[in-house]
Amino acid sequence: MRKFDFRCTWLKILAVPSVLLMLAVAGSMALAADDAPLLELHEWSVWIGEPQAKTINGGGDYPTAMPGLVETERSRKRDEKPKPAPIGVMTVYGEPPEVVDIDLKITAGRPISQWPRSEGKSNRLRWLDLKLTKELSSPELLAYIPDTHWFNKARELNGLYMQLKKGGRAERFFAYDLELQTPLNIRLDGGPDVYKVVNLGKHVFHDVLLIVPGPDGHRIGWLNTIAAAPGGGAAATPGGKNPAQPQAGAAVGQPVQGVVLANNGAGVIKVAAGQPGAPAGAAAQPGAAAAPTADPSKETIVEIPLSGPFAVDSDEFKDKTDGEMRRRLGKTGLTAAEIDLIMSLYAPHFFATDDIHFVYRIAQDGLDEITPLVVEPETTKIKRVALVIARRVDPRLREDVQQLITDLADASYAKREKAEKRLKDLGNLAIPSLKEAMKGKDLEVVMRAERLLLSQKEQLPPEQNPAP
């Protein structure tokens, strides 16, 4: 018969409460960690581009939004008709941890300016070992900014103060300006009542706005989304998480076949008859995506009908532009104060324009691919929003370019001069046609086209390079 070891048994019995106590303590610590207030970083930016340009936010194309104490390559001149200026802003909210690192990488491009100065290199902005506080220890840590500059409004966003590790400046936000080596992947066709929007790129367009001015007022078209071009793999990162590396190729855009109808500011997609999985005449809910097709096209084309004309100073126009934009930005998680700042800076460039403007939002997964952002501690919740202003998208401008190229050969000297000046004003939009014009036999047309291309710093074909 086996002997029963009472001593070992009692030791095991006594050990059970200890283990349970340890598990309870560990569980309460984990619960406390989960319940602890997290940092939340909000980033918003405005990008500007034109068809045919090689870059978005081109360094020589737009003025700076930075104050005088910030170094920049951009012009500080203010034209009679001001252009929008690219900008990016980060603000941090929550309970300050011991130290924070913010690392913003530009996959294709470079920083033009930054505030405060980061430790980044040619394609990176890095603010490391940041000390975050709710209160400013000394007013002298903040640089002087003129009262009328928007930096002062950014300081009223109630973000945490961030002080650089080397005893440098403290600031309540970070601002930066990037030049992105990527084209504007959009084309606008058709008009005047219905336009076709062509997405040539790998990222979905969100909260799409088309503004078309006319003699009777401005006409408006809103869409919730326009799918990415087929085969374009955009990065997919779970919303609100802190990516260590962008997950390239995780989502594939699909073509949209159908007609998109404006319905009180919301996009409604009517699925085309005969489309797989959809009965003839079936209509999706507002904002829904059309079913994918096997169309091998490399473009996504969606129609966007326009509203009737509104007077720019009418309450209805304000509600369907400024009001609608605010409602849509509110759904991204930006604060009301952040949205107020964005609108105070860019509402005239979004809505009160003399030319056709196209505005859309790039979602966080697209930003995580174009400009990957890493924040330590990694529990930081991140909300990222980029608004893109597409300028000179009017399809009639392409027709104007062709006529102006013809006018370069006109018998009238005044008409030739006028055509050259207008082509110069059209900038990047005229470059492909000017390069084609250089293949012609009219020497004056070739000479003027060459001069225009050189003024745009375009590289000429080898046979067209001027003699040294």
Q: Is 108:181 a contact under the CB 8 Å cutoff? A: yes
3-state secondary structure of 1: coil
Query: Could you tell me the CA-to-CA distances from 185 to 51, 205, 209, 399, 428 in Å, in that order?
Result: 8, 10, 16, 20, 14
Which residue has tokens 């097709």? 293
| CA pseudo-torsion sign 130, 132, 137, 141 | positive
Q: pLDDT, tens digit, for every residue of 118-141?
A: 887 789 999 999 999 999 888 888
3-state secondary structure of 42: strand
3-state secondary structure of 418: helix
Backbone Cα Rg of the chain: 28
- For residue 288, pLDDT over 70 is answered with no
Burial bucket for residue 364 (CB in 10 Å: 0-12, 13-18, 19+): buried
The confidence band for 247, taking pLDDT boundaries of 50, 70 and 90, is very low
**Contacts of residue 67, Cβ cutoff 8 Å, sequence gap at least 6:** 145, 146, 149, 151
Q: Is 96:160 a contact under the CB 8 Å cutoff? A: yes
Give the tokens for residue 56. Answer: 């978005």
The confidence band for 245, taking pLDDT boundaries of 50, 70 and 90, is very low
| CA pseudo-torsion sign 292, 387, 109, 247 | negative
Nearest to 111 by CA among 87, 130, 127: 87
Cβ neighbour number for residue 368 with a 10 Å cutoff: 24
| Higher-confidence position of 297 and 375 | 375
Q: Which residues of 280-292 are buried (b: 16+ CB within 10 A; e: fewer)?
A: eeeebeeeeebbb
| Higher-confidence position of 332 and 401 | 332
Q: pLDDT, tens digit, for every residue of 419-456?
A: 888 788 777 777 777 888 888 888 888 888 888 888 87
Name beta bridge partners: 117. Answer: none
Model pTM score: 0.75
3-state secondary structure of 73: coil
Nearest to 430 by CA among 457, 449, 409: 449
Q: Enumerate domains of the chain plus CATH numbers.
A: 38-393 (no CATH), 396-464 (1.25.10.10)
Q: Is 64:85 a contact under the CB 8 Å cutoff? A: yes
- For residue 340, pLDDT over 90 is answered with yes
Mean pLDDT of 229-251: 46
3-state secondary structure 187-243: EEEECCCEEEEEECCCCCEEEEEEEEEECCEEEEEEEEEECCCCCCEECCCCCCCCC
DSSP symbol at 322? I
- Winning range, highest mean pLDDT, from 38-42, 80-84, 447-451: 38-42
The distance of Cα 282 from the centroid of its chain, to the nearest Å, equals: 33
Q: pLDDT, tens digit, for every residue of 60-79?
A: 889 999 999 999 999 988 77
**Contacts of residue 411, Cβ cutoff 8 Å, sequence gap at least 6:** none
Nearest to 373 by CA among 118, 160, 143: 118
Give the tokens for residue 450. Answer: 């060459």
The confidence band for 277, taking pLDDT boundaries of 50, 70 and 90, is very low
Q: Is 68:76 a contact under the CB 8 Å cutoff? A: yes
